[in-house]
């Protein structure tokens, strides 16, 4: 029976097996299919994969082979050809950080048990605060994703802005806003009708005048408008809402401005991204997803709150002690958590911020290139110039668009997704992975060209 505690030598051997598997996985990525459902039914019924844990353990290499078979099915989001959804790729250096963080297994839910590690995580948050020009009063927390960050943002705003009976509170989104806000509102106890849809303009941006009107209408009806989500890069089209104008409307009307930068946030590292996100520094709260535009493996989001004390008072039961290091458990629903900060800290220090900036600049270049190339294909229409790295396009009919997507995705070389804009089916390409370069984008364009000509 394998002991639960491995000796140093046993661990070296096990890690060598795991290292071989991971390194091999990465080496195979350029040629691995991006989409594969072949033989899925058989695999799901395979007793080798779906068996109960045995009384006596089995060899690691055998188990990793099972993982590999299972990982081969579905969408390979680590592939350079992953252009569907929001494919960050997953930096393997963050996996190294996870290995280390889990092996040292220190408690970072509070500062006292691991003060210096909590300080390192705090440094990552301070870097983010400065990156987005937030004030010294800011508090931040690393979450498991953008949805959890949004939940804490809504709860914080609710506690800061509304009376104990908050059921008249209303929140403002658009048809393009990620449903994380509506879900957060529901989880926070708001009735479904509390979430108001503000019209968008022809470029799918929230219309600030329409927001002003909606707020006025709701006030006159006895409601309490308190929260607006502006997107710094929508998931659908990567479009950035007019942040300065929305910040003006929010401030004139005393609303909490939440900026959802879960997809687009880290483009702020580039000069184009920074210009286009002008006004983001006026947010009351900001949601980021390092597991998207910072390329981290899934499982890391972030919330920054301008008035940090409101984040803590919404989540904690007693007064804060005002210590120099935060207890992260005061800033969200979680108590015990992994040392989440290391998966940001290590890649940032190992590769340097410049490596991220360069990769994100490359994604913007590629998106412009895709936009130009698709625009020149006669039978396609492209939605609009991309603000960031999502390009949305369609054929003459929805049937043709669907057929194009099916055939391109059947290639196994690239995966595109679809979405609906004003109810209409459109194809969507999101260039976001650090692994996606010009060669793979050219393959995608060639596949599309073959289908439309
Ligand atoms: C992905 C996304 C979310 C939700 O974040 P998760 O990390 O998936 O929970 C929210 N907003 C936007 C704009 C997103 O792209």
**DSSP-assigned letters across all residues of 294-354:** T-PPSS-EEEEESSHHHHHHHH-SS-----SS--GGGGSS-SS---TTHHHHHHHHHH-HH
On whether both 242 and 169 belong to a single domain, the answer is yes
Quote the tokens at residue 418: 């679809």
Does any domain span residue 63?
yes
Q: Are residues 277 and 130 in the same domain?
A: yes
Return d(Cα 47, Cα 62) in angstroms, integer. Answer: 14
Residue 2 has pLDDT above 80, yes or no: no
For 156, counting Cβ atoms within 10 Å of its Cβ (0-12 exposed, 13-18 middle, 19+ buried), the class is: buried
Q: Which residue of 150, 262, 286 sits with most ligand 1 atoms within 8 Å of its CB, as the best mutation to test the pocket? A: 262
**CA 266 to centroid of ligand 1, rounded, Å:** 13
Residues 265-319: tens digit of each pLDDT: 999 999 999 999 999 999 999 999 999 999 999 999 999 999 999 999 999 876 6
Average pLDDT over residues 257-272: 98
DSSP string covering 372-430? HHHHTSTT-EE-S--SSSEEEEE-SSHHHHHHHHHHHHHTSS-B-EEEEETTEEEEEEE
Angle at 289 between CA 87 and CA 159, to 5 degrees: 145
Cα atoms in the 13 Å half-sphere on the side-chain side of 27 = 6
β-sheet with 424-430: strand ranges across: 381-382, 390-394, 424-430, 417-421
100-141 per-position pLDDT tens digit = 999 999 999 999 999 999 999 999 999 999 999 999 999 999
Q: Give distance in angstroms: CA of 188 to centre of ligand 1.
A: 17
Q: Which residues line ligand 1 (CB under 6 A)?
A: 86, 145-147, 178, 180, 231, 234-235, 260, 262-263, 289, 301
Structure confidence at residue 433 (pLDDT): 98
Q: Which of 184, 260, 389 to mutate to test the pocket of ligand 1 (most atoms within 8 A of CB)?
A: 260
Tell me: do 17 and 113 sit in the same domain.
no
Q: Judge if 62 and 210 occupy the same domain.
A: no
Q: Are residues 207 and 293 in the same domain?
A: yes
Determine which residue's CA is closest to atom 3 belonging to ligand 1.
146
Output the CA 339–ligand 1 centroid distance in Å. Answer: 22
**Minimum-distance ligand 1 atom for the alpha carbon of 177:** 13
Residue 14 lies in a domain: yes
Please write the tens of the pLDDT for every residue from 401-449. 999 999 999 999 999 999 999 999 999 999 999 999 999 999 999 999 9
From the list 441, 447, 338, the residue with the least C-alpha distance to 403 is 447
Distance from C-alpha of 27 to C-alpha of 22, rounded to nearest angstrom = 9
End position of a domain, from candidates 72, 97, 131: 72
Closest-lying ligand 1 atom to the alpha carbon of residue 147: 9
Read off the pLDDT of each residue in 208-237 and give the average, rounded to a whole number: 98
The Å distance, Cα 16 to ligand 1 centre, comes to: 35
Q: Is residue 94 part of a domain?
A: no
Residue 350 clears pLDDT 90, i.e. is over it: yes
Query: Would you place residue 182 in the very low, low, confident or very high pLDDT band (cuts 50, 70, 90)?
Result: very high
Q: What is the pLDDT of residue 453?
A: 84
In a domain, 17, yes or no: yes
Domain that holds residue 440: 353-452
Q: For ligand 1, atom 5, name the residue with the nearest CA.
A: 146
Single pTM value for the model: 0.97
Residues 161 and 166: their CA atoms lie apart, in Å, by 9
Mean pLDDT of the chain: 96
82 is a domain residue = no
CATH code assigned at 165: 3.40.640.10
In this structure, are 158 and 198 located in the same domain?
A: yes
- Are residues 306 and 373 both part of a single domain? no
Taking 90 as the threshold, does the pLDDT of residue 145 lie above it? yes
**Residue showing tokens 């033989």:** 39
Residue 95 belongs to some domain of the structure: no
Mean pLDDT of 243-256: 98
**Which atom belonging to ligand 1 lies closest to the Cα atom of 150?**
10
Of 337, 371, 391, the last residue of a domain is: 337
- Structurally, the chain folds into a number of domains equal to 3
408: tokens are 């391109």
Residues 241 and 313 in one domain: yes
pLDDT in the model for residue 43: 95
> For residue 262, how far is its CA from the centre of ligand 1 (angstroms)?
5
Q: Ligand 1: distance of its center to the CA of 214 in Å? A: 25
Residue 88 within any structural domain of the chain: no
Q: What is the CATH number of the domain that holds 384?
A: 3.90.1150.10
User: How far away, in angstroms, is 256 Cα from ligand 1 center?
Assistant: 19
Same domain (yes/no): 418, 321: no
84 in a domain, yes or no? no
Last residue of some domain: 337, 362, 390? Answer: 337
Q: Are residues 244 and 115 in the same domain?
A: yes
> Does 387 lie in the same domain as 324?
no
In 57-140, where does DSSP find H-type helix? 60-71, 92-104, 115-131
Residues 330 and 358 in one domain: no
DSSP H or E run through 290: helix 290-293
Distance CA 184, CA 190 (A): 9
Nearest alpha carbon to residue 249 among 214, 293, 273: 214
Gyration radius of the chain's alpha carbons: 23
């Amino acid at each position: 029976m394998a002991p639960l505690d491995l000796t140093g030598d046993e661990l070296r051997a096990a890690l060598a097996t795991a290292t071989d598997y991971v390194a091999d996985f990465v080496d195979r990525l350029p040629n691995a299919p991006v989409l594969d459902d072949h033989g899925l039914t058989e695999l799901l019924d395979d007793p080798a994969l779906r068996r109960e844990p045995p009384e006596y353990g089995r060899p690691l290499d055998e188990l990793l082979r099972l993982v590999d078979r299972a990982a081969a099915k579905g969408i390979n989001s680590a592939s350079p050809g992953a252009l569907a959804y929001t494919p960050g790729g997953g930096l393997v250096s963050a996996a190294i950080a996870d290995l280390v963080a889990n092996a040292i297994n220190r408690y970072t839910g509070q500062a006292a048990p691991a003060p210096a590690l909590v300080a390192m995580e705090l440094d990552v948050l301070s870097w983010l605060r400065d990156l987005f020009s937030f004030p010294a009063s800011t508090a931040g927390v690393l979450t498991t994703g953008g949805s959890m960050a949004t939940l804490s943002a809504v709860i914080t705003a609710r506690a800061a802005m509304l009376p104990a009976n908050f059921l008249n509170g209303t929140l403002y989104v658009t048809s393009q806003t990620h449903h994380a806000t509506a879900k957060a509102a529901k989880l926070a106890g708001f009735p479904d009708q509390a979430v108001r849809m503000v019209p968008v303009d022809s470029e799918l941006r929230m219309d600030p005048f329409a927001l002003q009107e909606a707020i006025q209408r709701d006030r006159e009806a006895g409601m309490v408008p308190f929260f607006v989500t502006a997107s710094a890069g929508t998931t659908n089209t990567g479009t950035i809402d007019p942040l300065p104008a929305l910040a003006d409307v929010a401030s004139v009307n005393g609303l909490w401005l939440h900026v959802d930068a879960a997809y687009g946030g880290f483009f702020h590292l580039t000069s184009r991204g920074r210009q286009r996100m002008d006004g983001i520094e006026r947010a009351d709260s900001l949601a980021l997803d390092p597991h998207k535009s910072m390329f981290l493996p899934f499982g890391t989001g972030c919330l920054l709150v301008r008035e940090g004390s409101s984040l803590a008072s919404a989540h904690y039961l007693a007064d804060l002690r005002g210590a120099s290091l935060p207890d992260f458990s005061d800033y969200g629903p979680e108590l015990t958590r992994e040392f989440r900060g290391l998966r940001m800290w290590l890649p940032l220090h190992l590769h340097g911020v410049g490596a991220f900036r360069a990769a994100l600049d490359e994604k913007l270049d590629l998106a412009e290139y895709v936009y130009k190339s698709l625009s020149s294909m006669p039978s396609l229409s492209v939605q609009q110039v991309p603000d960031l790295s999502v390009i949305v396009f369609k054929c003459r009919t929805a049937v043709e668009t669907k057929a194009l997507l099916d055939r391109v995705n059947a290639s196994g070389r690239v995966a595109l997704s679809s979405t609906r804009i004003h109810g209409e089916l459109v194809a969507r390409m999101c260039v976001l992975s650090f692994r996606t370069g010009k060669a793979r984008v050219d393959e995608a364009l060639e596949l599309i060209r073959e289908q439309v000509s």
